[in-house]
Amino acid sequence: MRIVISDTASGKSYQVELPKEKEAQIAGKKIGDELDGNLVGAAGYTLELTGGSDDSGFPMRREVFGPVKKKVLTSKGVGFNAKRKGERKRKVIRGNTYSSDIVQVNTKVKKAGATPLDQLFKKEEKESK
């Protein structure tokens, strides 16, 4: 499971791979819930869950309850971009509850810690030949 942390203060985002044994701590939470930063290696940070996508690429949506995949008639919002005014379409989306099918979890920083995220998640330099 990949955790994407968006830092609203700096405008940067950081990606962290979460080990399989820690995925159970996210399962059952809903969009809008808080997550402790210690889970992903950001001690002192509080993160807010903002969405995600499943293994098939379907986005999560706040209005659909449960960890289900549903076809929803939508006119705007996550998972649909209208081409014309008043256009509506039935789209497949995920519910607002995290489960084992979710592969990407989007979060944002709600309360910052003492150490900046730049220092916690340093980018590895790639060697060129």
What percent of the chain is predicted at pLDDT more than 90? 67
- Residue 65: C-alpha distances to residues 2, 41, 52 (Å): 22, 29, 14
**Do you know the residue count of the chain?**
129
Helix, coil or strand: residue 41: coil
Domain membership of residue 14 as a residue range: 2-62+97-114
In a domain, 54, yes or no: yes
Q: Is residue 69 part of a domain?
A: no
120 within some domain: no
- Would you say residue 103 has pLDDT above 70? yes
Query: Over the chain, what is the mean pLDDT?
Result: 90
- Asked, for residue 80, whether it belongs to a domain, the answer is no
Alpha helices in the chain (DSSP H): 117-120
pTM to 2 decimals?
0.86
